[in-house]
Amino acid sequence: MVDEPKETKLRVRRRPNPRLDQLRRTWYFFRRNTLAMIGLGILIFFVILYVVSFFYAAPATQLETYQATNGSLPTPTAIFTQVCTYQQGESPPGPNCYLTPVGMPSVIGPTATLRTASLGPLPFGSLTLNPPGQIFYNTFDGLVKGTQWSLTISVGVVVSGAFIGILLGIVSGYYGGVVDEVIMRLTDIFLSVPGLLLVIITLAVFAPSVTNLWTRVGLVIAAFVVVWWPSYARIVRSQVLVVREQRYVEAAKASGAQGGRILRKHILPNSIYPVFVQMSLDVGTVPLLIAAIVFIGFQVFTTRSFPEWGTITAFSAQPDVLASFITNCQSASALGLGCTFPWWQFFFPGLTLFLFAISVSFFADGLRDALDPRLRR
Amino acid sequence: MRLWIYVVRRILLIVPVIIGVMTITFVLVNALPVSQRLVSYYGPSPRLSYDPVIPCSKLTGNPSTLGNCTNPAYTRGVAALGLDKPIPVQWAIYIGNSLTGHWGYVGNGTGVTQSVPITRGQPVVTVLGWFLPYTLELAGLSLLLILIIAIPIGNLSAVNRNRPVDQAARVLSFSGYAMPAFLLGSVLLMAFVLLLGGSSGLSPFCHGQSSYTDLTGSWPPPQCFPGQLYPTWLQSGAISSPTGFPTVDAAYHGLWFMALDTLIRILIPAFVIAYGTVALLLRFVRNSMLEVLNLDFVRTARAKGLPEKTVVKKHAGRNSLNVTITVLGLTFAGFIGGFPIIEQVFQLNGVGRMIAYSVTLTPYDFGMIFGSTILFTLLVVSANIIVDVLYAFLDPRVRLG
């Protein structure tokens, strides 16, 4: 009678959660990796920027509102009356105007006073220079607004790709036999097509009939998932092949656990960590690939200057845009006028892409080292 | 003898993969409207003797309505592609066509963007055959650069593990992964333009002399393109193009300066392509070298008093090579996927540039896009075979398994 309360107390006390323990251990090792912590810091910055971007009332979506109110995109002439640009053969209307090829608006709407603004700490933060009704956003607005699209798309791609890959990889690795053979030959086929091209052909077939913005974004995600699932399936399968031979799986089988329970409780949690590493690496690759596809001239999104990191970067680094900058400076100096080379147009978007990709790769590297006991020093 | 059996078996194993890739493209082609499929297979209107988009545009793939179209060319096209038959038959016809090299015809764009005049209406296979040597030359040079850069730096950082050299290599590796290739290319291009001067736009790569940059197109500096697809010395029938490879052709005709000039022009593009792959490869080279350096035979080599240089180069270096080759094979798909970007940045002739052209046309040039996808897949697959054979050659144990 005396002992009973003590016993219940013991029973109530919770068993330490092994997963929580492992998480704590991982964090302990992760914290000691300087590069990984830098990566994590930059990532946290981007996550904060992601949240902020929803509340940031920038005129970044003015191109879409233009399309919504007027029913179509502005014609190049409509664009060029708004900004200080001029075309081949014309004389420049003033200093710091840009020679712009036909049909190629610049991402910043360059104005006559741009140079004054560009003396500030952020040469691209020329918020007040955007006259109302101007259909362009400046690079800063575009990048802040672009955070939400870029991160949504990359995380969407990686999460859905990993979901399909984990599912197929586990089934393939655990059951083996014909199922394994079929799934692995499928991954072989998908992995032998260059990813960039597979995305392009998928988009080229389906995109022309999709004009709705959100459906288009979904299509972009789907096109990337087609490319991405095989690598996850491969990783998970190779892990499952190791894990399923472990003693604790045997023990679970011996104690009568069903296949589904073994997969869920024993195999999945123990083979998923390499997927996390690969996922965090791939999150950084998606905007880079979108940038590449936009760069070679494919219109991924519904508008050419869609506020997404990759699109902004690629758009401002087009060879003809760069060539027009150079020609502009050359003709301006011939006329005795000053010339501001708009380096920020591709520098800051490119820096954003670079920082994002390098921070996730630092993060992934640190995560790999922290999770794999062999790599710890 | 055994190596030959292995090679043949490896090639036979690749056939299902190729058919599988063609099945993926078939699924995508099947999602296109019938008129688009006809255009991509028969090319622009002259060949089909009518413009399928206008008279039969409302018929989008529904077999029951296909018979309503009275145009004989349309029905002939539909019958030849089996579009009025069930999907498996269509698939069989598609695979048959693809395997026998019937990849359709290059279309022509409408409106502002037009396809390259010389390629317009030509069979896709022929056009790809023109441009493939250019891409292969670029690929060969950048593969060479990859091996030249990655292996010594990887070995160096393994030997100096966790020293500044290793850290620098790590930074190089990470930045190569994170750097958008087109941006690096554009910046390098601009830097060379501004450094080397020149009044004709981006002159160093765009001289009108190089066999890589003579391509009609929408590129703004008009002096860049004298209006012909082929280099001047190729088109003026006096000099023939026996191989199709520009550098080799120039050398064949004794134009050594031209050959050298062409090579120098693709050196920087090749470097930009190589950089991304080097970034991936570097870590693997380093890690495999570290593993090999800890093996017993290396310790033996050291113990018998060999100089450290010989140990690292001859004993460890050669044994860590097979990991390098394997990883190179794995990254080859990504490597080949970078060509459209780089060829677009530097405006080089090649299959990648043709892909960039095809996706800027409206409507897209599907014959070209699908054709070059299959071509690039064939390249990746054959590179994998070569890698496997090399691996088997380096490590004879593989063939037994």
ipTM metric: 0.85
**Measured between beta carbons, which residues in chain B are less than 8 angstroms from residue A230?**
none
CA B152 to CA B156: how far, in whole Å? Answer: 6
Task: Note whether A319 contacts B219, CB cutoff 8 Å.
Answer: yes
CA A61 to CA A136: how far, in whole Å? Answer: 9
* Residue of higher predicted confidence among A48 and A7: A48
Q: What is the pLDDT of residues B248-265, one digit of tens each?
A: 777 776 667 667 767 777
Q: Is the pLDDT of residue A42 over 90?
A: yes
A296: nearest CB among B189, B340, B363: B340
Q: What percent of chain A has pLDDT over 90?
A: 29
**From the CA of A174, how many Å to the nearest CA of chain B?**
23
Nearest CA in chain B to A346: B183
Q: In this structure, is the dihedral angle defined by the CA atoms of residues A350, B136, B260 and B204, taken in order, positive or negative?
A: negative
B377: nearest CB among A193, A196, A288: A193
**From the CA of A150, how many Å to the nearest CA of chain B?**
15
CA angle A189, A193, A196 (to 5 degrees): 145
B373: nearest CB among A197, A314, A323: A197
Q: Does A33 touch chain B (CB under 8 A)?
A: no
Task: Note whether B220 contacts A190, CB cutoff 8 Å.
Answer: no
Q: Does A190 touch chain B (CB under 8 A)?
A: yes
Q: Which residue is listed with tokens 């990859």?
A: B146
pLDDT level of residue A308 (50, 70, 90 thresholds): confident
CA angle B152, B158, B162 (to 5 degrees): 130
pLDDT score of A223:
94
**From the CA of A271, how many Å to the nearest CA of chain B?**
22
pLDDT level of residue B15 (50, 70, 90 thresholds): very high
pLDDT level of residue B331 (50, 70, 90 thresholds): confident
Substitution target in B10, B113, B124, B190 with the highest count of A β-carbons within 10 Å is B190
pLDDT score of A111:
32
B residues 365-384 lying closer than 8 A (beta carbon) to A = 366, 369-370, 372-373, 376-377, 380-381, 384
CA B270 to CA B328: how far, in whole Å? Answer: 16
Q: Does B347 touch chain A (CB under 8 A)?
A: yes
The answer to whether the beta carbons of residues A100 and A87 sit under 8 Å apart is yes
CA angle A155, A158, A163 (to 5 degrees): 120
**Measured between beta carbons, which residues in chain A are less than 8 angstroms from residue B364?**
204, 208
**Measured between beta carbons, which residues in chain B are less than 8 angstroms from residue A346?**
183, 186
A353: nearest CB among B180, B190, B376: B180
Taking Cα atoms as reference points, which of A219, A217, A57, A58 lies closest to residue A152? A217
Q: Does A185 touch chain B (CB under 8 A)?
A: yes
Q: What is the pLDDT of residues B273-298, one digit of tens each?
A: 999 899 889 988 888 888 888 888 88
> Which residues, listed in sequence order, are joined to residue B123 by a DSSP beta bridge?
B105
The answer to whether the beta carbons of residues A347 and B190 sit under 8 Å apart is no
Out of A110-119, A357-366, B181-190, least confident range = A110-119
**From the CA of B260, how many Å to the nearest CA of chain A?**
25
**Measured between beta carbons, which residues in chain B are less than 8 angstroms from residue A298?**
359-360
Q: What is the pLDDT of residues A235-247, one digit of tens each?
A: 999 989 888 888 8
B residues 177-196 lying closer than 8 A (beta carbon) to A = 177-183, 186, 189-190, 193-194
Task: Note whether A204 contacts B372, CB cutoff 8 Å.
Answer: no
B residues 219-258 lying closer than 8 A (beta carbon) to A = 219-221
Region label for B61, one of left (φ > 0), alpha (ψ between -120 and 50) or beta (otherwise) = left
Q: Does B197 touch chain A (CB under 8 A)?
A: no
Non-local CB neighbours of A127 within 8 Å, separated by 6+ positions: A138, A140, A141
Nearest CA in chain B to A102: B220
Taking Cα atoms as reference points, which of B86, B97, B84, B90 lies closest to residue B41? B97
**Measured between beta carbons, which residues in chain B are less than 8 angstroms from residue A150?**
none
**Measured between beta carbons, which residues in chain B are less than 8 angstroms from residue A196?**
337-338, 340-341
**From the CA of B220, how many Å to the nearest CA of chain A?**
6
Taking Cα atoms as reference points, which of B134, B271, B125, B136 lies closest to residue B211? B134
B residues 261-320 lying closer than 8 A (beta carbon) to A = none
Mean pLDDT in chain B?
A: 76
Task: Note whether B178 contacts A284, CB cutoff 8 Å.
Answer: yes
Task: Note whether A358 contacts B174, CB cutoff 8 Å.
Answer: yes
3-state secondary structure chain A: CCHHHHHHHHHHCCCCCHHHHHHHHHHHHHHCCHHHHHHHHHHHHHHHHHHHHHHCCCHHHHHHHHHHHHCCCCCHHHHHHHCCEECCCCCCCCCCCEECCCCCCCCCCCCCCHHHHCCCCCCCCCHHHCCCCCCCCCHHHHHHHHHHHHHHHHHHHHHHHHHHHHHHHHHHHHHCHHHHHHHHHHHHHHHCCCHHHHHHHHHHHHHHHCCCHHHHHHHHHHHHHHHHHHHHHHHHHHHHHHHCCCHHHHHHHHCCCCHHHHHHHHHHHHHCHHHHHHHHHHHHHHHHHHHHHHHCCCCCCCCCCCCCHHHHHHHHCCHHHHHHHHHHHHHHHHCCCCCCCCCHHHHHHHHHHHHHHHHHHHHHHHHHHHHCHHHCC
pLDDT score of A152:
92
At A99, give phi and psi (nearest 5°).
Answer: -80, 120
Q: What is the pLDDT of residues B52-103, one digit of tens each?
A: 444 454 444 444 444 445 566 667 777 778 887 888 999 999 999 999 988 8
At B123, give phi and psi (nearest 5°).
Answer: -60, 140
Non-local CB neighbours of B124 within 8 Å, separated by 6+ positions: B103, B104, B105, B106, B367, B368, B371, B372
Task: Note whether A192 contacts B377, CB cutoff 8 Å.
Answer: yes
